[in-house]
């Protein structure tokens, strides 16, 4: 398959998945008494020929304090300093990238914050990457077992190395300056490029898997009671979330170094957070 066709198919999938996630989350909001809907904002790079994106935000809902679903397709040339970090971009710095990212911060502190993203990147090389992870404010071993068992099943069905992805996720979502994990991990993968058709199928199933997993977890915990102290604990955990995304997150760095829209890049940040 030609690389232009691969770009087209992957971009169309990310567009479709954005619609599916937003429709699902709006239906969850409605089911539990909310009326909030996603507000969409389109943006373009300074050179419109280099693409742009569409980020959608739902705030102050019955279920979600804030959830952002961002889809973008951009191209251009990396700076000489940044291109050394990108596979296949070292010589000329040219790139094309399309992807989707989701971050959901819940109103009920008993429900974990959720993160998902998948992407297809083209330089002199081309590959898929992405992952799913949870950041709970309260330990729940039963939920943790369920979450990881479903991710393992998803990987095994696609003949992917779950253990490798799990370890990669644990190492990635780690706050070095605090010597602590951000959450309970999940899966993280990158540089998937051996078989485009099979890798693309895996990426699609990761997207559908995220919808199913997040919906189940939300519906399972939405009616749990909480108090002001629980909410304060959630705000402290969100502080850790902010620290990671601003100091270490590769997606944030990629967006800033590829001329992305600042608001869409920072949509992952929660509406409220505290520090001791």
Give me the active site residues, please. Answer: 115
Element (H, E) at 40: strand 39-44
- Total Cβ atoms within 10 A of residue 39: 10
Distance CA 269, CA 104 (A): 10
Look at residue 36 and give its three-state secondary structure: coil
Q: Which residues lie below 8 Å from residue 183, measured CB to CB, with a gap of 6+? A: 112, 113, 133, 134, 135, 136, 173
> Are β-strands 180-181 and 174-175 bridged in parallel, bridged antiparallel, or unpaired?
antiparallel
Is residue 100 within 8 Å of residue 53, measured between CB atoms? no
Distance CA 210, CA 142 (A): 18
Distance CA 208, CA 155 (A): 13
- Total Cβ atoms within 10 A of residue 55: 23
């Amino acid at each position: 398959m030609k690389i232009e066709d691969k770009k087209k198919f992957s971009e169309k999938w990310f567009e479709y998945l954005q619609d599916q996630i937003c429709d699902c989350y709006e239906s969850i909001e409605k089911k539990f008494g909310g009326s909030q809907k996603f507000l969409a904002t389109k943006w373009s790079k300074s050179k419109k020929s280099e693409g742009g994106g569409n980020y959608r935000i739902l705030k102050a809902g019955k279920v979600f304090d804030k959830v952002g679903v961002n889809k973008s397709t951009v191209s251009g040339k990396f700076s000489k300093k940044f291109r050394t970090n990108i596979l296949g971009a070292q010589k000329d710095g040219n790139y094309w990238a399309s992807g989707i990212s989701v971050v959901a911060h819940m109103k009920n502190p008993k429900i974990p914050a959720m993160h998902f993203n998948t992407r297809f990147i083209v330089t002199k090389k081309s590959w898929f990457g992405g992952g799913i992870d949870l950041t709970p404010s309260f330990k729940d071993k039963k939920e943790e077992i369920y979450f990881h068992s479903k991710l393992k099943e998803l990987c095994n069905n696609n003949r992917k190395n779950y253990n490798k992805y799990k370890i990669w996720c644990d190492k990635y979502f780690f706050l070095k300056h605090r010597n602590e994990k951000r959450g309970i991990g999940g899966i993280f993968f990158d540089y998937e490029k051996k078989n485009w058709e099979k890798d693309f199928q895996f990426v699609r199933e990761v997207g559908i898997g995220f919808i199913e997993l997040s919906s189940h977890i939300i519906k399972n915990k939405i009616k749990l009671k909480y108090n002001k102290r629980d909410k304060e604990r959630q705000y402290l955990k969100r502080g850790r979330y902010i620290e990671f995304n601003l100091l270490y997150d590769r997606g944030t760095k990629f967006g800033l170094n590829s001329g992305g829209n600042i608001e869409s890049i920072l949509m992952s940040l929660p509406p409220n957070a505290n520090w001791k």
